[in-house]
Amino acid sequence: MVMELLAPAGSYDVFKIAINLGADAVYLAGQNFGARAYAENFNTEEIKKKRRICSFKQC
């Protein structure tokens, strides 16, 4: 059994911390959807940028 660390990231700062501390995956929500009411969340362009970062770091 392989375990994976999934980290929620409601802001860019939390996203960076999760990636730098070794999260295997990061949960991002868009501005019009998401489970956390007070998170900053990301617009479409920001989500695309985060995806490129994760692809580069293979997270």
Give me the pLDDT at residue 59, please.
53
Find the distance separating the first CA and the last CA of the chain, reported in whole Å: 19
Give me the pLDDT at residue 37, please.
67
Q: For the chain, which residues score pLDDT lower than 70?
A: 34, 36-37, 56-59
Kind and range of the H or E run holding 6: strand 6-8
CB 15 within 8 A of CB 33: no
CB 35 within 8 A of CB 54: no
DSSP code for 11: S
Q: Is the pTM of this model over 0.75?
A: no
Backbone angles phi, psi at 44, to 5 degrees: -60, -45
